[in-house]
């Protein structure tokens, strides 16, 4: 069993990570059918910019979107 303070720390880190992911923006795509399995039939990817899962006839990915700021004239 984990000490109470370690559980609090894990919750805090998870909350911060989720908040940053939501604030930074994200995009998601789902591909169904034979086009989903062009590269692989079963697989998973995970990086700092995207996460994805490939199953037979299904491919789902999520990624971060970079925000742009508009300059005032």
Taking only the tens place, the pLDDT of each residue in 13-71 is 777 666 666 666 777 788 888 998 888 888 888 887 888 888 888 888 888 777 666 77
**18 within domain boundaries:** no
**2 within domain boundaries:** no
**17 within domain boundaries:** no
Range of the domain at 54: 25-65
Q: Looking at the 3D structure of the chain, how many domains does it have?
A: 1
**57 within domain boundaries:** yes
**12 within domain boundaries:** no
The pLDDT, as a whole number, for residue 23 is 61
Q: Tell me the pTM.
A: 0.54
Q: State the distance between the two ends of the chain, measured CA to CA, in whole angstroms.
A: 58
Closest Cα to residue 31, out of 64, 57, 65, 63?
A: 57
**Residue 28, SS3?**
strand
Q: Tokens at residue 67, please?
A: 């925000």
The pLDDT, as a whole number, for residue 3 is 62
The pLDDT, as a whole number, for residue 57 is 87
- pLDDT of 1 > 70? The answer is no
**10 within domain boundaries:** no
**4 within domain boundaries:** no
């Amino acid at each position: 069993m984990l000490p109470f303070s370690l559980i609090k720390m894990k919750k805090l880190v998870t909350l911060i990570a989720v908040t940053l992911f939501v604030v930074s923006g994200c995009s998601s795509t789902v591909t169904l059918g034979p086009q989903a399995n062009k590269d692989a039939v079963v697989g998973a990817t995970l990086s700092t910019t995207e996460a994805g899962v490939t199953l037979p006839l299904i491919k789902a990915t999520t990624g971060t979107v970079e925000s742009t700021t508009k300059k005032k004239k």
